[in-house]
A = this chain, B = another copy of it.
């Protein structure tokens, strides 16, 4: 019998603010960071589960303290029992009433639980010798719905409806898996679009993005309207008419601002407007979505939990759902969110970038394609070419597509030497 014997944490920070990588209208100087978690066992296989919360610098130590608060739940536990019931573990962690008070189900404590859940999935996938997407896509519909907590969802999605969605997708699984392995999953790139880059760098990076085969790029907007118009002109000119251009306001606007600003950007035929306002403002997004149609509203990277996603879908407040690997409580909650999106017929285009988000989130999108929505139509995973070199199994993005990981695990393991080099304080 193997036991979980240690929960180790690291405060890892990369000094990205020096180059303005990741700069946008709300986040002028992020230091991309990870509150990092390693779960060690006494099994002979030497396998570990790794997970993290992506943050942008200050406060990463507080996020690490929240990881430590989960130690008593996990250390000393029987590994096989834990991994055999990750739905149960999720409920135990999320519904710890004292820890729950600190959210509930949002912010630092909820993200810490997400990192622990993701680390357990990493360990489970490594022990199974499979990449996470394949492990998930091989589970039965019943096993998958057992991972989901339907509390607060049943007015929009019941367990039975979720089962029906998964069963309907079952017949095509093998064929889609073969297609995925052969062709990969569509990507778009945000690399050209950071606000801190000058026009020359923007033009050069747009050119490179097109040359690399991306069919969509994304630009940050919301700082200054004249700047946005000038930058969009450059991007459209360099990319040509066939590459889609999305814009991202990073929560900069109130409702009326968003409507006015998007009206001024009408000529650019935008693929979507992302995070126009507060990520908590379901009704605000619904009003914006109505006003800026047919341009769809995209949001999700700061959406705290499945209950908010449920409402965004119920209110027609988003047209593109951008789940994030480390914002909610891990793989299990993201499966709930994929099922909600499937129920409402809304495409999921995961948020990525940051530290390791591309590595982590690709597994969810690929699982969705094989076993949930069954399609990549209108779907793509964000790609930013930052910091991949610090991961044991970095993403393989070529020709504008994510190629499916083959290595066992959830993609969340950072190189030991990177952790040492960038450990903070």
Interfacial residues, chain A to chain B (CB-CB below 8 A):
26-31, 55-59, 61-63, 65-66, 68-69, 96-111, 151-155, 251, 254-256, 277-284, 287, 302, 304-305, 307-308, 310-311, 314-315
Contacts and interface: CB of A to CB of B under 8 A. Distances in A.
A102 B111 CA distance: 9
A29 B97 contact: yes
A62 B109 contact: yes
Given A59-B102, A152-B277, 20 more contacts: A27-B98, A56-B97, A59-B66, A59-B98, A62-B62, A104-B279, A104-B302, A105-B278, A106-B304, A151-B254, A152-B284, A154-B254, A154-B255, A155-B255, A280-B304, A280-B307, A281-B311, A282-B282, A284-B307, A284-B311
Q: Is the interface of A mostly helix, strand, loop or mixed?
A: loop
A99 B31 CA distance: 11
Contacts of A278: 104-105, 151-152, 307
Contact of A105 (B99, B277, B280): B280
Nearest to A55: B101
Nearest to A64: B65
Contacts of A256: 154-155
Nearest to A277: B152
Contacts of A311: 280-284
B251 A104 contact: yes
A98 to B, nearest CB: 4
A161 to B, nearest CB: 14
Given A65-B65, A69-B61, A152-B277, A56 B98 contact: yes
Contacts of A281: 152, 307, 310-311
B107 A62 contact: no
Contact of A108 (B107, B251, B284, B287): B107
Contacts of A104: 251, 278-279, 302
A40 B311 CA distance: 44
9 contacts: A62-B108, A106-B280, A107-B107, A151-B254, A152-B278, A155-B284, A280-B305, A281-B307, A282-B282
A339 to B, nearest CB: 16
Nearest to A254: B154
B109 A106 contact: no
A107 B103 contact: yes
A77 B284 CA distance: 37
A13 to B, nearest CB: 10
A283 to B, nearest CB: 5
Nearest to A35: B102
A340 to B, nearest CB: 13
Shortest 3 CB-CB contacts between residues of A and residues of B: A107-B107, A58-B98, A57-B98
Contacts of A304: 106-107, 280, 304
Nearest to A28: B97
A61 to B, nearest CB: 7
Contact of A102 (B28, B108, B255, B307): B108
Interface centre among A31, A97, A280, A282 (most CB of B within 10 A): A280
Contacts of A251: 104
Contacts of A103: 106-107
A283 B97 contact: no
B65 A62 contact: yes
A224 B411 CA distance: 44
B282 A58 contact: no
A58 B96 contact: yes
Contacts of A308: 280
Contact of A254 (B26, B152, B284, B305): B152
A407 B65 CA distance: 37
Listed residue (A99, A107, A284, A314) with the most chain B CB atoms within 10 angstroms of its CB: A107
